[in-house]
Structure 1
Amino acid sequence: MELQQMRYVVAVAETGGFTRAAERCRVVQSALSHQIARLEKDLGARLFERTSRSVRLTAAGEAFLPVARQALQTVERARAEVAAATGEVRGRLVVGAISTVSAVDLARVLGEFRSRYPRVQIRLQMEMTETLVDKVRDAVLDVAFIGMVPGARNPGVAERELARNELVAVVPPGHPLAEREWTTLARVARETFVDFTAGSAARRQREDAFRAAGLDSEVAYEVTTVEFLAKLVRAGLGIGMVPAPMAAGLPGLHAVRVRPAPERTERVVWSARGPSPAALAFLSTLGVDPE
């Protein structure tokens, strides 16, 4: 079994096809397919079910994938640790973030980090909080910026709170609330909502406050990004609730404070097993001490 074979398996699993995996790995498809076939022969089991339309992991593939990822990450970590011991930060840094992150200027921070540590390969993924936490726990991500209800905990990851802020209502021009500075939660509860997907941390930040006040709400439109939430609100399809710092960056919408206000915390999370040298350097850039 070779590390390159593991890389090919991970690439196929993540891209969903042999052609895209070969493009990512910068090899011809026939070479990638041949190496995976060799690996399957050595293991005595097929890792992928191949059809004319799709490629998916078999039960054996599902079992093999996390182990392959861990092996590759261990090798990368070993190289990075050796480099760090000689005074050089290098390797991989995969950062995840929610679309409503406001506690840090992520673009600026990543730019500064790249300038300071040019040997580190940086990747960024935007996801919902639950997915980000799972990916940090599974070592797919090194660091992630998430939003949570105050008091919520995330087993299996280390975390630091970066900011705590209130949610405000965002409404389009001409809405009855558009000229008001603040309103009550009971008044807002009479509106139709554009909100994040059911069960998400972003949705719970609002719903927990409504539930505590004995209020219900109607969600007609579910989204995964604040940008699309804003588009639907501008179209007059409903109102939304977003963190106060984020509302200022949504042109064409009016922000209205709500009392009692739903709250959320923004946090940075990393593996409970300890950050890699690149992740440690990134946390230091944020002023976060993982000890």
Structure 2
Amino acid sequence: MELQQMRYVVAVAETNSFTRAAERCMVVQSALSHQIARLERELGARLFERTSRRVRLTPAGAAFLPAARQCLDAAERAAAEVAAAVGEVRGRLNVGLIPTVAAVDIPSALRDFRRAYPNVRIGLRVGASEELVEQVREGAVEVAFLGLPTTSRPHGVAAHELAHDRLVAVVAPGHPLAGETAVDLHRLSFEVFVDLPAGTAGRVQSDLAFSAAGLSRDVAFEVTNADFLARLVGQGLGIAMLPAAYVRQLSGVTTIEVTDAPARVEYVIWSRAGRTPAATAFLALLDVPAT
């Protein structure tokens, strides 16, 4: 069994096509098919069901795929560790982030990192805080940036606190509240809201604040993308509560202080099992203490 065969299996599984997999791996299709057939003979089971219209994993293939990915990740990490031992940082850095991250200028940090370590391949994943914690625990992401209510903390991962931030109300410029300098949660409870999906960390902090105040509110629109959320607010479809530091980069909306607003804490997290050389270098660039 060879690593290249595993790469071919992963490529076919991800593209659902021998043709596209061969293009991704930059080999002729016949060579890729031959190597997968050879691996299937060695394993004594077919990994893919092939028809004229589709390619999909067999139960044996579905069982093989996670282990193949782990082997490839381990091989890549081994090569990166050897390179680091002789003073070169390379390999892959997968960075996860919430849409409203504000404590770190991610594009600027990645620009500086790329200049310093051009041999590192970088992947970005945008998601909810709870999803990113799970991805770091599973090893799919090396470093992630989260925002959590002050009552929560990331579990099962190493974490460093970056910043505290209060939420502010965001309304359309023509909204009746746009002329106010400050409001409270009671006044906001009469409005229609645009918010993140129920159960996500970005939504929970607002839900908890209204609940603690004995208030309810109408969330008419649930949006997974914070920028699009702000666009809906700008069209007058509802109001929102977003972190003050993040709102500064938005246009077409008006910001109002909320006197009893909830707060959030931004964290950077990484695996407790250890940092890859690329992750260590990236965190060092951000002046995150080595712990």
Partner of 1:151: 151
**Residue type matched to 1:149 in 2?**
P
Matches within 5 A, 1:167-246: 167-246=167-246
The gaps in structure 2 that reach 5 residues or longer are none
Partner of 1:105: 105
**Residue type matched to 2:23 in 1?**
E
Partner of 1:41: 41
- Report SS of the residue matched to 1:279: helix
**Residue type matched to 1:274 in 2?**
G
1:9 offset after TM fit, Å? 2.6
Q: 280-289 or 126-135: which moved more?
A: 126-135
Partner of 1:282: 282
Separation in structure 2 between the aligned mates of residue 251 and residue 267 of structure 1, nearest angstrom = 26
Matches within 5 A, 1:128-139: 128-139=128-139
Separation in structure 2 between the aligned mates of residue 280 and residue 24 of structure 1, nearest angstrom = 29
Q: 36-45 or 246-255: which moved more?
A: 36-45
What's the CA shift string for 1:159-187, capped at 9, x where partnerless? 11111111111100111111112111111
Separation in structure 1 between the aligned mates of residue 121 and residue 283 of structure 2, nearest angstrom = 16
1:53 offset after TM fit, Å? 6.1
Partner of 2:160: 160
**Residue type matched to 2:158 in 1?**
A
Separation in structure 2 between the aligned mates of residue 218 and residue 15 of structure 1, nearest angstrom = 42
- Report SS of the residue matched to 1:214: coil
1:65 offset after TM fit, Å? 2.5
- Report SS of the residue matched to 1:177: helix
1:30 offset after TM fit, Å? 4.0
1:213 offset after TM fit, Å? 1.6
1:19 offset after TM fit, Å? 4.1
**Residue type matched to 1:108 in 2?**
S
Percentage of matched positions with identical amino acids: 60
Q: 45-54 or 89-98: which moved more?
A: 45-54
**Residue type matched to 1:27 in 2?**
V
What's the CA shift string for 1:173-219, capped at 9, x where partnerless? 11111111211111112211111122212111211212222222222
- Report SS of the residue matched to 1:168: strand
Between Structure 1 and Structure 2, whose CA radius of gyration is higher? Answer: 2
What's the CA shift string for 1:26-73, capped at 9, x where partnerless? 233443344333333332334345566665544433432322222111
CA separation of 1:53/1:138 partners in 2, compared to 1, >3 Å: closer, same or farther?
A: farther
What's the CA shift string for 1:5-25, capped at 9, x where partnerless? 222233334445444433332
Partner of 2:88: 88
1:111 offset after TM fit, Å? 0.4
1:240 offset after TM fit, Å? 1.2
The gaps in structure 1 that reach 5 residues or longer are none
Partner of 1:114: 114
What's the CA shift string for 1:98-136, capped at 9, x where partnerless? 111100111111000111111212222222223222222
Matches within 5 A, 1:40-79: 40-49=40-49, 55-79=55-79
Partner of 1:123: 123
CA separation of 1:37/1:203 partners in 2, compared to 1, >3 Å: closer, same or farther?
A: farther
**Residue type matched to 2:194 in 1?**
V
